[in-house]
């Protein structure tokens, strides 16, 4: 700790969040809840980048295509967007913030949420894309980032050649540094291009740090340069082509049941309706959830036709067969994107995955209907391990998915849904409706049914897990503005599974309730109080698969979060969270998290910083808290055991468009002598990590 203090002082000038404090808190709350609700590890970097892009480039209120992004963020309901469109139809383009207040349904709280994200520009109709002006008038941004844990983990300790030969997974192949290089080019809202290179911690760069015998075992699986490389090039509104993408891209149609890649924001109250762009550039270094190839959308009047093709290598566990007459098959597809050990490297790019398909849609002024079909081909058959929970899992090389989606919005009523099926005729259906009986209240009812035999490699529809399969449930929510600057949000979700899962060896049910009160003190100050209760059926402690009984895991948590300025340039954020966790007949375990954030962002100064001091105690499970981070990075603290967490983050702008961002943090535990397990184990009770980022804009 004494060594850390001088380092913190030296790192004093370092990057903040977007500095839209109230809007930031709403986005952060969504992501924290999504992390807490799923048992799977999901990379939400894409969501952070989407929000950052909007903060930087703003949403043009006078452009209907851009305006729908507010619905994707779940910051305003669909009726606000429809009222803005109706206002423009009756009175013309909106030219100022003050005029926006005349739109029906926009109260002061909604206005303050929207304000930092929007701009007012007159739509440029029939603007021609002239490539001779693109490079000259475009914007460039280059980013280099390095990060590492300063403690030596077990995977980086020296291991003798004899031990490594017997157990090649005993050591990481590379250094503990994570390296990231990215370049982006943009020309207005017409052209996007760029690339990203990444090496994760433990992965090697150019040459693996292993002996010759292990190199021979790896053979042609060893890569020559860097582990992951990505490239994208996207053109919008070029003649009759609405969008053309080459390289890495993402797709989203309807409500995400038939086809939607990457992650999507999940509402905390309000409508679950989606109206996302069909084709988006994939700019991050997320090694899963993207497509690689080409896609294009052609539009004519109210019709749009999207065609896409993807061909890429994916990670998988290959299982060798016992006879020469049989082909190798895949037991599981890997989603971590990590290639640090011999075993992970052998799984790297093990098979080829090909996707081809299309979508056709018709959009009216208040409705849209679309049809999507796509086919996925694997170069090796997927045959999962013969475990009971894999009984209905996909088996084979080829999978065809198709579905119909729609939405219809009246003045005070919205309907939306999607019906899909895989080629085994197993259905997946979602249907939702949101009604606004009065301007201060809206009610949402959403039902989903995902058959246990439904298969889809690219779906991110609303569900309690990361994969919409073997689940049905009813979701209810209401949002009530019961007084000026006061809002009550209440949700209830009742998912259940008719077949077993890895966490529940019997049909299981879950009940989840959430009650949140938000109050906006003024344009820069707000707080919320959130009460959550979750009752989940899961496996008990018995190891007998066929006799295992389900137990109820009940968790109740209370969270208080406040954001407020003190002085002209300093903003404080305080959080107190307390939870009780009961599993079966065990005594309830109590957990807490307390933190203090200090954000310093002086106007007309080239520097800013953020500091956090947190205390936590979580004997069972984890408590989660979003951490401010450098640009385009995602960080959620998962706190186990008892201890404290501190970090300092900052930004300094230099000349010629150059800026430096850095973060250093330390977690000190008071009740353990080892942190982590396996190759990630650290001897001692202190874990220190840091990041350094250089950004150049032109």
DSSP 141: E
> Which percentage of the chain shows pLDDT scores above 70?
91
> What are the start-end ranges of the E strands in 336-393?
351-363, 367-382
The answer to whether 511 and 535 are in contact (CB under 8 A) is yes
Q: What is the structure's pLDDT at 142? A: 95
Q: What is the pTM of this model?
A: 0.89
Q: What is the structure's pLDDT at 628? A: 86
Pairing verdict, β 674-675 and 658-669: unpaired
Does 685 score more than 70 pLDDT?
yes
Does 11 score more than 90 pLDDT?
no
Mean pLDDT of the chain: 86
Whether 623 is covered by a domain: the verdict is: yes
Lowest mean pLDDT among 26-30, 163-167, 415-419: 26-30
Give per-residue pLDDT as tens, 88-104.
888 888 888 888 888 88
DSSP secondary structure, 255-317, as one string: TSSSSB-S-----SSS-------SEEE--S--SSS-EEEEEEEEEETTEEEEEEEEEEEE-EE
Higher confidence at residue 296 or residue 237?
Answer: 296
Average pLDDT of the segment spanning 451-469: 90
How many independent structural domains does the chain possess? 1
Whether 16 is covered by a domain: the verdict is: yes
User: In which band, very low, low, confident or very high, does the pLDDT at 605 lie, cut at 50, 70 and 90?
Assistant: confident
Q: What is the CATH number of the domain that holds 680?
A: 2.40.160
Whether 283 is covered by a domain: the verdict is: no
What radius of gyration, in Å, describes the C-alpha atoms of the chain? 25
Give per-residue pLDDT as tens, 494-545.
999 999 988 888 899 999 999 999 999 988 889 999 999 999 998 887 655 5
Whether 187 is covered by a domain: the verdict is: no
Give per-residue pLDDT as tens, 243-299.
999 999 999 999 999 999 977 777 666 778 888 778 999 988 888 889 999 999 999
Q: Which of 103-117, 254-268, 682-696 has the highest mean pLDDT?
A: 682-696
Q: What is the structure's pLDDT at 324? A: 40
Whether 361 is covered by a domain: the verdict is: no
User: In which band, very low, low, confident or very high, does the pLDDT at 126 lie, cut at 50, 70 and 90?
Assistant: low
Whether 517 is covered by a domain: the verdict is: yes
Q: What is the structure's pLDDT at 3? A: 37
Whether 549 is covered by a domain: the verdict is: yes
Element at 24 (helix H, strand E)? helix 21-37
What do you get for the CA distance between the two ends of the chain, in Å?
Answer: 40
Range of the domain at 15: 1-21+503-698
Helices vs strands, H then E, count in the chain: 12, 31
> Which percentage of the chain shows pLDDT scores above 90?
51
Q: How many other C-beta atoms lie within 10 A of the C-beta of residue 395? A: 12
Average pLDDT of the segment spanning 79-84: 88
Helices 45-57, 21-37: axis angle to 10 degrees equals 170
Give per-residue pLDDT as tens, 613-671.
999 999 877 888 888 888 877 788 888 899 999 999 999 999 888 999 999 999 999 98
How far apart CA 172 and CA 209 sit, in angstroms, is 8
Q: What is the structure's pLDDT at 361? A: 96
Whether 534 is covered by a domain: the verdict is: yes
Does 133 score more than 90 pLDDT?
no
């Amino acid at each position: 700790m004494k060594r850390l203090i001088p380092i913190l002082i030296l790192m004093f000038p370092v990057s903040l969040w977007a500095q839209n404090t109230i809007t930031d808190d709403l986005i952060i709350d969504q992501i924290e809840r999504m992390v807490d609700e799923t048992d799977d590890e999901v990379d939400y970097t894409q969501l952070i980048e989407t929000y950052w892009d909007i903060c930087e480039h703003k949403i043009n209120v006078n452009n209907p295509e851009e305006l729908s992004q507010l619905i994707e963020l779940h910051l305003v309901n669909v009726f606000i967007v429809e009222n803005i469109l109706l206002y423009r139809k009756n009175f013309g383009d909106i030219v100022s913030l003050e005029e926006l207040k005349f739109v029906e349904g926009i109260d002061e709280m909604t206005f303050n949420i929207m304000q930092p994200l929007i701009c007012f520009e007159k739509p440029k109709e029939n603007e021609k894309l002239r490539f001779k002006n693109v490079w000259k008038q475009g914007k460039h941004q280059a980013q280099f980032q390095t990060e590492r844990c300063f403690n030596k983990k077990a995977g980086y300790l020296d291991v003798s050649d004899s031990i490594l030969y017997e157990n090649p997974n005993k050591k990481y192949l590379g250094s503990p540094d994570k390296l990231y290089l990215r370049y982006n080019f943009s020309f207005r809202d017409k052209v996007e291009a760029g690339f990203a290179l990444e090496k994760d911690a433990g992965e090697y760069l150019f040459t693996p740090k292993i002996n010759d015998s292990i190199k021979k075992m790896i053979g042609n699986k060893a890569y020559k340069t860097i582990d992951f490389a990505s490239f994208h090039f996207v053109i919008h509104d070029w003649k009759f082509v609405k969008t053309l993408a080459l390289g890495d891209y993402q797709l989203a149609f309807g409500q995400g049941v038939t086809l939607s890649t990457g992650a999507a924001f999940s509402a905390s109250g309000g409508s679950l309706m989606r109206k996302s762009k069909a084709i988006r550039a994939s700019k991050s270094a997320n090694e899963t959830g993207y497509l690689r190839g080409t896609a294009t959308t052609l539009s004519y009047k109210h019709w749009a036709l999207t065609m896409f093709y993807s061909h890429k290598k994916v990670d998988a566990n290959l299982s060798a067969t016992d006879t020469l007459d049989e082909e190798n098959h895949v037991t599981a597809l890997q989603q971590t994107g990590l290639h640090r050990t011999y075993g992970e490297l052998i799984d790297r790019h093990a098979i080829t995955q090909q996707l081809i398909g299309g979508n056709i849609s018709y959009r009216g002024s208040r409705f849209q209907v679309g049809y999507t079909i796509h086919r996925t081909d694997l170069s090796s058959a997927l045959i999962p391990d013969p475990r009971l929970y894999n009984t209905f899992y996909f088996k084979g090389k080829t999978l065809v998915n198709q579905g119909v989606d729609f939405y219809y919005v009246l003045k005070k009523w919205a309907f939306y849904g999607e019906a899909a099926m895989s080629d085994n005729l197993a259905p997946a259906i979602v249907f939702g409706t949101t009604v606004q009986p009065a301007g201060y209240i809206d009610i949402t009812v959403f039902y989903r049914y995902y058959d246990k035999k439904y298969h889809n490699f690219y779906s991110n529809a609303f569900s309690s897990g990361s994969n919409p399969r073997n689940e049905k449930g009813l979701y209810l929510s209401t949002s009530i503005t019961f007084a000026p600057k006061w809002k009550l949000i209440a949700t209830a979700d009742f998912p259940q599974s008719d077949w077993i899962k890895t966490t529940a060896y019997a049909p299981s049910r879950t009940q989840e309730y959430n009650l949140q009160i938000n109050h906006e003190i003024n344009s820069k100050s707000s707080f919320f109080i959130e009460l959550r209760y979750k009752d989940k059926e899961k496996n008990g402690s018995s190891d007998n698969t066929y006799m295992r009984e389900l137990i109820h895991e009940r968790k109740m948590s209370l969270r208080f979060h406040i954001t407020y300025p003190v002085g002209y340039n300093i903003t404080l954020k305080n959080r107190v969270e307390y939870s009780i966790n009961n599993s079966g007949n065990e005594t309830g375990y109590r957990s807490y998290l307390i933190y203090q954030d200090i954000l310093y962002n002086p106007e007309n100064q080239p520097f800013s910083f953020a500091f956090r001091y947190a205390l936590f105690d979580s004997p069972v499970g984890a408590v989660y808290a979003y951490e401010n981070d450098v640009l385009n990075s995602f960080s959620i603290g998962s706190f186990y055991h008892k201890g404290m967490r501190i970090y300092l983050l900052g930004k300094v702008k230099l000349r010629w468009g150059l800026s430096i961002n850095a973060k250093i943090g330390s977690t000190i535990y008071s009740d353990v002598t080892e942190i982590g397990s396996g190759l990630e184990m650290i001897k001692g009770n202190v874990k220190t990590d840091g990041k350094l980022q250089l950004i150049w804009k032109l």
